[in-house]
Amino acid sequence: MRYLWACLVFFAAFTLNVLPVFSAGKKLHKGLTTNLFVLQDTTKIKYVSPKDSLRKDSLEQIKLKTIYNKLSGGVRKDVKDLSLFPAISLQQNLKGNYAGLYVQEPSGEPGSIQNMIIRGAAMPLLSKKDLYAVQPLVVLDGIPLIGEHPFAFDIQQYDFNRIGPATNLLAGIDINNIASVEVLSDLAGSSIYGPRGVNGVIVLTSKAASGNSRSISFNSYIGMVQKPTVNTINGKYENEFRQRFYDIYTTNGRYSDDEEYPVYLSDSLNNVYSGKSNWTDLYYKNALIYGINFGLTGGSDRANFRFSLGNAKSQSVADGTGLDRYSAMFNINMRPVKWLLFSAMINGNRLNRDRNRTLRDRFAQINYFPDLSAPPAPNKDYYASYLNEYSKGFDDNKTNLIQGYAKLVATLGKVKLSSAFNVDYNEGYRDIFYARTLLQGNSYASNYYGFNQRLMIDNKASYDFKLNTAHDFHVELGQSMMWDIYKYNYAYAYKGANDYIKINLLDSDPKLPNGGDNPNYLVPKAFPRELTYRFLDKTADNLLSFYGKVNYSYNDKYFVSGTLRLDGSSNAQPTKRWFYSPVIAAAWNVKNEWLKDTRLVDDLVLRASVGRLGRTFTYDNYAQGPQYTASVGYTGNLTVPGYNAFGVLTRPYSFGWVGYGVPWAYSDQLNIGADVAMLKNRLHVSVDFYTKADQNQLIGIPSYAEYGYKQSIESGMDVSNTGVDLSIHALVMAKNKFSWNSSLNFNHNSNTLKALPRGLNEIIIGNRLLRVGEPVDQYWLLENEGIYTSTAQVPEVNGQPLKYNGQALKAGDPRWKDQNGDNVIDEKDKVLKGHSLPTLSGGFDNAFTYGNWSLSTNLYFNLGRKLINQEMASRFDFVNREGNTDVSSVKEITFWEKRGDYSKYPLYNPWSTVIPYRLDQDLFLENASFLKLRSVSVGYELGNLLKKRNIKINKFFVYGTVSNVFVITPYTGQDPELVSYDGIDTGYGQPIPRTYTLGVKMEL
């Protein structure tokens, strides 16, 4: 990290020293006309016209974007309003602000992973590997940002969190450094980014100096996150809850002698569990958040720069979690001669994350479950003793991120040549130590280091010309090469020598001080060799692309664009290495054609795009067909790189069989849209109808079990998404000093599984059923119709009672619907119900101004979405959760928090062998639609007042914001947003808190 800061200091010094020299002795004055600027030099006079200055570049961008906006439905927004929300991640800033962009925030824990999906998921989300594969591409100043690779999940039993810091990499975007955010949903806009942009593209343009502007900006806020009000319970309450079941289903109203009743509940006089439940005093706390960003802009028409420094701290209300970010960004533009432009940018961030202390995540991390017979005590004093033991260790999470580019643009008449070198690099560290007092005498330590790296060379050549002033052509040829590398080193160990030696699992220096080989290289230092496990992996993905593009416009009425790409991926098989992608877009300016004299309509554009874009495979495992791996699994681990210190070759049975001739997956997309402006541009409406057909995708088909494989990975899965995006912006009122602006955006999306490999109609994968013709985000559940209060109510056929998987149903069992009437309840009676993704989502913003005062509100909504309340299912299924040593039996301190409505669930017989409170039934399926008031901001512009007093200041805006104000939802659980990617509310999502902030935005 010190090298990063050294580079930033160097760039700052370069800026402050070299740029003044570049224009030494020169003073800028306005010329006699508006088109000329005079530079007064000590030696001679020069005239610099706009075509020779940096202003020319911005003018050309405006022209190109005007044509581009006619063809694409991309929505660009100024970040002025977005920055009033005290977000720590890009996803939080964008949530509810763009039609078609769905943002999922499964936890309020700062720095945790958040998901984005544009216009529906392209595939069933069966695991987090699939979730990674549907994320949109984020582009910062032309740099396609790299994300984490899901290959690290291959060595984990559970995919709760990726190994390493698992920090949201987009938390490294400081919105105060961003000038605009644009979401590209259709191929007319996203195809230029190639296969990486097949899921849509989010384009971030950073603030940069323009012309001869000189300014200083200062943005800062400070605030408090408010702890929630919760209802706590203790052992006495839990006993009373369970007693109802004993009263009904046991002969004497109590547990039998041979039943192992939990010890922590058996003694009602034990104040540890049945006394005060005041653990929340230590778990939930009001916390401080703040952010500060300082920007410096300067230069001349021939060279300018922007430099910024920032720090933001976001703390959660729960479990002491938080994220601390340090950021620096530098942009420079230089035009040494009139035909050559040099630009460069560097953006560096350091993220320090304090993670949660949940038992589940900790046990999943260490692959070890100790005695789970009792949860943490709800008494504050005893919970404090647990936290004290936890504090004897550490969990350090650090992430460094750096992005940068260097670009040359040569303008030779009508020909423009550009060449850019882009870099995106991030690295993560996680060092863990848990003392033996936490693990029944076994200490634990682990070290992780991993990095993701993307290098890119991007070359373009364009030619612009006109014929007879009416025909405007833009021809562009491009080539790019992208090299991606993902790597991690990981080791963990048990039973250290003592609790004082906590780090350095391995001797990681391959050389001795004298230069000789270190015989103890990679040998454990303080932990037994046989209890030390080492993992390392590396994967690379290269993408070579060529494309040609032609834009044509006629009299500003008709616009046509055609793009043809050729992409080659190293993750594709040798016989299918290359893929061709054609895209055509067209637009018709109806206003200029037929409505020139109509005052009611200010602008009306109809547009359409159709095309195909390739989808690269996430893994290189598919590139070579059948394969061996240098690993073997044993002792419960998924992958261990050797057996008794000897590497071995094994078939990747757990991964699955991969054959030859696997083709590229691709996405066929059609978009038809319209943009209209009316009432003197006071009303703007944009509507898009789209269909996306993602075809030839891979999926694991259960097969080849006789050869040891669990599945065959085959292509042929097709998923379609169809829907509509609507954006409306209206200046509702503008009178005297008062104005009212209102914006509404929403997306309606539906998905359908169109095909499966081998022509299959349906397959079962885990607890999911995928059926052709049905949505891919539905749940597969038994339909619950009540309870059998007596055995006589159980239906009989030929003297045989209704059975569940061979077990006769009795009094106290659920009344599950026998869908096919075969007198047996089994998987054939499960039905597809609900949607884990919303069918309608969007946001509604209102901004009011009166004089220097402003008021803005932001509403966010999801409709047509359901989730499974697993937390409630676990609460009622207490019989099957007690006494086990697995993840389903883990009870957190939040076990002593009452959530949900207990009265809505029937009192089944929890001892029944049919497991009445099983998760795969619609008893726990709930409507998770919601409407949230995300923020209310009030501000006052002091700049005008200061100017009247001859204080030179461009802007001095002070504001106050309340975020996460309220939610309206029928959901009975904690929060309908706190749900995992598969639509299951595990109860582990930390609350998204209400936040109060005061801030200032100043420009000098």
Q: What is the pLDDT of residues 746-770, one digit of tens each?
A: 999 999 999 999 999 999 998 999 9
Average pLDDT over residues 34-54: 35
pLDDT of residue 17: 40
Which of these, 765, 759, 693, lies nearest to 126 by C-alpha position? 765
- Alpha-carbon distance of 990 to 974, in angstroms, equals 9
Rounded (to 5) percent helix, strand, coil in the chain: 20, 45, 35
Write b or e for each residue in 211-241: b if 16 or more Cβ atoms lie within 10 A of its Cβ, otherwise e: bbeeeebbbbbbbbbbbbeeebebbebbbee
Instruction: Tell which of 800, 829, 858 closes a domain.
Output: 829
Name the phi and psi angles at 672, rounded to 5. Answer: -125, 125
Write out the DSSP string of 295-360.
Answer: EEEEE-SSEEEEEEEEEEEEE-SBTT-EEEEEEEEEEEEEEEETTEEEEEEEEEEEEEEE----HH
Write out the DSSP string of 521-561.
Answer: TT-BSSS-GGGEEEEEEEEEEEEEEEEEEEEEEETTTEEEE
Angle at 172 between CA 167 and CA 173, to 5 degrees: 140
- Alpha-carbon distance of 785 to 773, in angstroms, equals 27
Q: For the segment 785-828, what is each residue's pLDDT rounded down to a tens digit?
A: 999 999 999 999 988 999 999 999 999 999 999 999 999 999 99
Per-residue pLDDT for 615 more than 90? Answer: yes
Average pLDDT over residues 188-194: 93
Percentage of the chain exceeding pLDDT 90: 68
Which of these, 39, 62, 61, lies nearest to 411 by C-alpha position? 61
Which two tokens mark 286? 């009001």
Which two tokens mark 683? 């009303």
pLDDT of residue 944: 72
- Alpha-carbon distance of 674 to 652, in angstroms, equals 50
Query: DSSP 3-state assignment of 658?
Result: strand
- In terms of Cβ atoms closer than 10 Å to its own Cβ (0-12, 13-18, 19+), residue 675 is buried
**Strand 394-412 with 415-434, pairing:** antiparallel
Per-residue pLDDT for 509 more than 80? Answer: no
Beta bridge partners of residue 418, listed in sequence order: 409, 460
Asked whether residue 23 is domain-assigned, the answer is yes
Asked whether residue 667 is domain-assigned, the answer is no
Asked whether residue 359 is domain-assigned, the answer is no
pLDDT of residue 647: 58
Asked whether residue 44 is domain-assigned, the answer is yes
Average pLDDT over residues 303-331: 96
Per-residue pLDDT for 951 more than 80? Answer: no
Which of these, 666, 667, 652, 762, lies nearest to 713 by C-alpha position? 652
Sign of CA dihedral 336, 341, 342, 344: positive
- The number of beta carbons lying within 10 Å of the beta carbon of residue 437 is 16
With helix as H, strand as E and coil as C, how does 200-230 read? CEEEEEECCCCCCCCEEEEEEEEEEEECCCC
Which of these, 815, 694, 800, lies nearest to 752 by C-alpha position? 694
On the CB side of 169, CA atoms within 13 Å amount to: 25
Write b or e for each residue in 393-403: b if 16 or more Cβ atoms lie within 10 A of its Cβ, otherwise e: bebebbbbbbb
pLDDT of residue 622: 87
Sign of CA dihedral 491, 495, 496, 500: positive
Per-residue pLDDT for 261 more than 80? Answer: yes
Which two tokens mark 450? 């991993």
Question: Quick one: pLDDT band at residue 703, thresholds 50, 70, 90?
Answer: confident
pLDDT of residue 485: 95
Is residue 88 within 8 A of residue 325, CB to CB? The reply is yes
Q: For the segment 344-375, what is each residue's pLDDT rounded down to a tens digit?
A: 999 999 999 999 999 999 999 988 888 888 89
Which two tokens mark 184? 């590209």
- Alpha-carbon distance of 199 to 323, in angstroms, equals 28
Query: DSSP 3-state assignment of 469?
Result: coil
Question: Quick one: pLDDT band at residue 527, thresholds 50, 70, 90?
Answer: confident
- In terms of Cβ atoms closer than 10 Å to its own Cβ (0-12, 13-18, 19+), residue 15 is buried
pLDDT of residue 424: 98
With helix as H, strand as E and coil as C, how does 69-125 read? HHHCCCEEEECCCHHHCCCCCHHHHHCCCCCCEEEECCCCCCCCCCEEEECCCCCCC
Which two tokens mark 147? 């994300």
Structural domain boundaries enclosing 9: 2-48
pLDDT of residue 81: 74
Beta bridge partners of residue 803, listed in sequence order: 808, 824
Asked whether residue 796 is domain-assigned, the answer is yes
Which of these, 605, 739, 599, 740, lies nearest to 685 by C-alpha position? 605
Asked whether residue 10 is domain-assigned, the answer is yes
pLDDT of residue 11: 39
- Alpha-carbon distance of 104 to 506, in angstroms, equals 39
Instruction: Tell which of 761, 794, 829 closes a domain.
Output: 829
Asked whether residue 797 is domain-assigned, the answer is yes
Question: Quick one: pLDDT band at residue 517, thresholds 50, 70, 90?
Answer: confident
pLDDT of residue 637: 52
Sign of CA dihedral 377, 382, 383, 386: negative
Beta bridge partners of residue 925, listed in sequence order: 868
- The number of beta carbons lying within 10 Å of the beta carbon of residue 847 is 18
- Alpha-carbon distance of 536 to 492, in angstroms, equals 12
Beta bridge partners of residue 349, listed in sequence order: 327, 401
Q: For the segment 10-26, what is each residue's pLDDT rounded down to a tens digit?
A: 334 433 343 333 333 33
Per-residue pLDDT for 55 more than 50? Answer: no
Beta bridge partners of residue 401, listed in sequence order: 349, 426
| Consecutive H or E run containing 948 | helix 943-948
Between the two ends of the chain, the Cα-to-Cα distance in Å is: 31
Average pLDDT over residues 683-712: 92
**Strand 866-869 with 984-985, pairing:** parallel
Q: What is the mean pLDDT of the chain?
A: 87
Which two tokens mark 746? 């929403």
Question: Quick one: pLDDT band at residue 296, thresholds 50, 70, 90?
Answer: very high
**Strand 37-40 with 27-30, pairing:** antiparallel
- Alpha-carbon distance of 634 to 612, in angstroms, equals 44
- Alpha-carbon distance of 547 to 703, in angstroms, equals 40
Q: For the segment 229-246, what is each residue's pLDDT rounded down to a tens digit?
A: 999 999 999 999 999 999
Is residue 778 within 8 A of residue 833, CB to CB? The reply is yes
pLDDT of residue 649: 65
Write out the DSSP string of 21-85.
Answer: HHTTT-EEEE-SSTT-EEEE-SS-EEEE-GGGSTHHHHHHHHHHHHHHHHH---EEEESTTGGGS
Asked whether residue 432 is domain-assigned, the answer is no
Q: Which residues contact 100 (CB under 8 A, 6 or more apart)?
A: 118, 119, 183, 185, 200, 688, 723, 725, 747, 749
Total domain count for the chain?
A: 2
Which two tokens mark 554? 């006629």
- Alpha-carbon distance of 748 to 794, in angstroms, equals 43
Average pLDDT over residues 198-215: 85
On the CB side of 194, CA atoms within 13 Å amount to: 26
Beta bridge partners of residue 395, listed in sequence order: 432
Query: DSSP 3-state assignment of 136?
Result: coil
Which of the two residues, 954 and 176, has the higher pLDDT score?
Answer: 176
Rg value, the chain, Cα: 31
Query: DSSP 3-state assignment of 644?
Result: coil
- Alpha-carbon distance of 280 to 661, in angstroms, equals 58
